[in-house]
């Protein structure tokens, strides 16, 4: 599988997994909502993540937690622009991704702030102009699978064959990407987005099957309910569980871990990398 993408005009190797730090500039995210609405707290958090080894930062201005009401374009833009303006002044060389499903916002942040990557929870399904816009912008595209929309996705999600349905979704969307010239695509199977607890663990076991799509894979399980429900914790108490699931994801082919806690994810990558390399033929 090809794990090299073009990023910032250069080839970027994902064969050794990378860590993406989460920065939510929202009042209502499930774990850190409201923590980084002020400039200094935002800058301090980015400094912390970079010091701990983050390879990239994902900035989001809306909450996609189950049941969340999505903000208007104007509200999303008003939240994210001040953050990006300060981030780009302070950290001009850091790889920055923006989490949005709106093509209009994607175009603005790339052209105005030089954003390096777009992370779309809907995989192009909530805005039909997103994939053509990515083709125009020529930036890497993180395409996530979500069954439904955030406000109702966890209302009794049902699949006849979940892994097959997800694979077919990606195949169809990747074909749309190829038709318009989008070549640097990272897939995200969408843990917790229209999946029951059992679906999430079935998907975790099946991650190697997604290698057939020949795309790097991002996994985002950080402090999610799929962890809390099993070990009886809150989001605040789910760091250890997150590290366990991240480790399984790395062993099953994840190229990027999207996390709230960078240090622990970087350590997991280092340990799994040592383990897999030590098992290579001499």
Which of the two residues, 168 and 27, has the higher pLDDT score?
A: 168
| 4 belongs to a structural domain | no
| 282 belongs to a structural domain | no
Mean pLDDT over each residue of the chain, to the nearest integer: 91
pLDDT in tens, 69-93: 788 999 999 989 988 999 999 999 9
The residue segments making up the domain with residue 272 are 14-277
**What is the pLDDT, as a whole number, of residue 30?**
43
| Residue 195 bears catalytic tag | no
| 8 belongs to a structural domain | no
Phi and psi at residue 279, in whole multiples of 5°?
-95, 5
Given the residues 89, 195, 224, 229, the one annotated as active site: 224
**What is the pLDDT, as a whole number, of residue 157?**
80
Q: What is the CATH number of the domain that holds 71?
A: 3.20.20.20
Is the pLDDT reported for residue 46 higher than 50?
A: yes
Average pLDDT over residues 108-125: 97
Which of the two residues, 154 and 220, has the higher pLDDT score?
A: 220
Average pLDDT over residues 178-205: 96
| 94 belongs to a structural domain | yes
Is the pLDDT reported for residue 175 higher than 90?
A: yes
CB 117 within 8 A of CB 139: yes
| 161 belongs to a structural domain | yes
pLDDT category at 282 given cuts 50, 70, 90 is low
Q: Look up tokens 């989008």; give the residue.
A: 182
Average pLDDT over residues 186-193: 96
| Residue 86 bears catalytic tag | no
| 30 belongs to a structural domain | yes
pLDDT in tens, 225-262: 999 999 999 999 999 999 999 999 999 999 999 999 99
Given the residues 102, 147, 195, 258, the one annotated as active site: 258
| 106 belongs to a structural domain | yes
**What is the pLDDT, as a whole number, of residue 174?**
98
Domain count, the chain: 1
CB 60 within 8 A of CB 23: yes
Q: Label each residue of 95-124 as H, E or C.
A: EEEEECCCHHHHHHHHHHHCCCEEEECCCC
| 133 belongs to a structural domain | yes
Is the pLDDT reported for residue 185 higher than 80?
A: yes
Is the pLDDT reported for residue 33 higher than 50?
A: no
pLDDT category at 32 given cuts 50, 70, 90 is very low
């Amino acid at each position: 599988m090809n794990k090299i993408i073009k990023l910032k005009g250069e080839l970027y190797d994902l064969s050794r997994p990378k860590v993406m730090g989460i920065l939510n500039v929202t009042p209502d995210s499930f774990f850190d909502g409201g923590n980084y609405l002020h400039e200094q707290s935002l800058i301090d958090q980015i400094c912390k993540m970079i010091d701990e080894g983050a390879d990239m930062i994902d900035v989001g201005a809306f909450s996609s937690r189950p049941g969340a009401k999505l903000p208007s374009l104007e509200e999303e833009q008003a939240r994210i622009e001040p953050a990006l303006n300060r981030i780009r002044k302070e950290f001009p060389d850091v790889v920055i991704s923006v989490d949005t499903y709106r093509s209009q916002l994607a175009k603005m942040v790339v052209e105005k702030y030089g954003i390096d990557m777009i992370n779309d929870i809907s995989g192009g399904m909530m805005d039909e102009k997103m994939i053509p816009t990515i083709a125009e912008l020529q930036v890497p595209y993180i395409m996530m699978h979500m069954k439904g929309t955030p406000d109702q996705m966890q209302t009794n999600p049902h699949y006849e064959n979940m892994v097959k349905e997800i694979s077919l979704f990606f195949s169809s969307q990747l074909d749309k990407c190829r038709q318009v010239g989008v070549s640097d695509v990272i897939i995200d199977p969408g843990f917790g987005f229209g999946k029951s607890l059992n679906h999430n663990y079935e998907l975790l076991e099946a991650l190697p099957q997604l290698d057939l799509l020949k795309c790097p894979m991002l996994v985002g399980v950080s402090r999610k309910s799929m962890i809390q429900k099993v070990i009886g914790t809150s989001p605040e108490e789910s760091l250890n569980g997150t590290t366990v699931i991240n480790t399984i994801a790395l062993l099953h082919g994840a190229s990027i871990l999207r996390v709230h806690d960078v240090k622990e994810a970087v350590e997991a990558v280092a340990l799994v990398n040592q383990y897999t390399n030590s098992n290579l033929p001499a």
